[in-house]
Each structure stands twice: as C-alpha cells, then as structure tokens.
Structure 1
Amino acid sequence: MPSTSISSNVPDWMKTQRNLTILVAILVAVPIAYGFRVMVSGADFGGSFLLLMTLAVGVPSAYDEYWPKHDRIWNAVIWMVLACIVATTEFIGLYLLGTELGNLSPFPASIGAFLITDLGNLAWLSVRKRQRNSGR
C-alpha cells in the first residue's frame, strides 16, 4: 500500500500558488458574474459568461504568464483580488459604453468588452514584462 493517498495530496495541491490564485479568481468571478447578470438590465447570459471567463480564466492566466511570482502566497491572493476588481471595472465600463453610447445590443457590447479587456490587459502586461526583462 502506498504511503501517500490522493486525499492527503489534495491539501498540498491546493496550497500551490498557481492553484490557489485560480481558486481565488473563480471564487471572486462567480458572484461578480451573477451580480452583473442581475444588476445590468438587458444583459444576456453571454455577457455574464464572458465576464466570468475574463475573471476566472483571463486574470489567472495573465498572472501565471506575465507577472513575477510573489514570495508570500497572500501577496498573490491580494494581487488576484485587485486584478479581478480592475478587470471587472474595465469590462463593465466598456459594456456600458457600448450599450449606452455605442447603441449596441448587449451581446455585441459584451463581446467587445471581453476582447478589449482581455487583449488590452495582456498587451499591457506583455509590454511591461518586456520592459522589465530588457532593463536587467
């Protein structure tokens, strides 16, 4: 019989920085996406789903690929929460801009908000990482 079991490895697996940041992003993303669906009149399922994907997939991916790892796990958790707040603000602002000023229907506005938020943040992080690496 092996000395380790799957149940004893799960707590260790959950404590890794990458997995913990993903879990935090999901825990932040679900209520925010639900709140977006409830609060924004006329928002369809696609808008809340794209906001959920932005927060639960895009933000942890950006952290994993473009941000230096923190020595303390709580710094990574705080970074994840703050990044989710920034991405939520960007997404909702762009969505409202598209629906109110651009006269777009909710689904195209949410697609535009998703693309600009995700691609814009990834482009900014990529430039920041390149500048940081060239300065070494």
Structure 2
Amino acid sequence: MREWMTTQRNLTILTAILVGVPTAYGFRWVFDEPGLSGSFLLLMTLGVGVPTAYDEYWSKYDRARTAVAWTVTACVVATVEFTGFYLVGVELLGLSTLFASVGAFLVTELGNLSWLAVRNRQADPDESA
C-alpha cells in the first residue's frame, strides 16, 4: 500500500486534492457565491485537471518531491488563472456567477491543456509525425 501511495501519479493527485479543497473553500468564502459553481469548478480544475496535466503532458521527474512541488506550483497558476477569468466574466462582462465559473473553468482547462500539448509537440517533433 505504501508503495502504491508514493507513486508520482498518486502523489500528484493527493497533493492537488490537499491544495484544492482549502483553495475552493477560500474561493467560496472570498466571493460569497450564491451557488457552489465557482468553488466546485475550481476544485475540479485543481483536483482533476492539474494531476491529469502532469500525468499526460509533463515528463516525469526523478524525485517525487519535485513532482509535488510542480503540482503545488501548477495549482497556484491554475488558481490565479481561474480567479482572473472568473472576475473578468463577472465584473467586466457582467455574466452571472454560473456562466463566469463555467467560462473560467473551460478557458483555464482547455487553455492549459492546449499549451501543454503544443509544448510537447514542439519538444518532440518525431512523435507528431
């Protein structure tokens, strides 16, 4: 069980969840949303999107602690992006919190995964052929 729990894949998932739960709660507290849409979608971005991005699009590190540090950093970046897009949707575009949350989720997730896919394609042109 210990060996299974300490694989890089599982460590990145656990780290993202441990970062994501209090971050989503803080998001809900700061923005005082009437529904759970923003905090839930932020939690999904961090708890599912970040580990998936690491597992599918990032080269594995030699040390598990480096993978954990990458996950924490990616969670911070994704939180800043999500919050920024959410605020643009609510404040500048006048969207409801639901639509702003969905937009922030889609732009953050699809944008980051697209960037990582392009990065991988440029780093290894032989695999794209």
TM-score scaled by structure 2?
0.95
2:2 maps to which residue? 11
1:34 maps to which residue? 25
Give aligned-pair identity as a percent.
Answer: 62
Distance 1:123 1:17, change over 3 A: same
2:12 maps to which residue? 21
2:75 maps to which residue? 84
2:45 maps to which residue? 54
Distance between the aligned counterparts of 2:126 and 2:89, measured in 1?
A: 38
Distance between the aligned counterparts of 1:130 and 1:111, measured in 2?
A: 28
Distance between the aligned counterparts of 1:54 and 1:89, measured in 2?
A: 12
The Cα offsets for residues 11-64 of structure 1, whole Å up to 9 and x where unpaired, read as: 111111100110000000000000000111335201110000000000100000
Moved over 6 A (4+): none
In the alignment, does 2:112 pair up with 1:121? yes
Secondary structure at the aligned position of 1:68 is classed as coil
Stretch moving more, 85-94 or 33-42: 33-42
Aligned residues: 127
Distance between the aligned counterparts of 1:81 and 1:43, measured in 2?
A: 28
Q: 1:99 aligns with which of 90, 95, 107?
A: 90
TM-score scaled by structure 1?
0.90
Letter in structure 2 aligned against 1:47: G
Distance 1:43 1:65, change over 3 A: farther
- Structure number with greater Rg is 1
Question: Superposition RMSD on alpha carbons, in Å?
Answer: 1.3
The answer for unaligned runs of 5 or more in structure 1 is 1-9
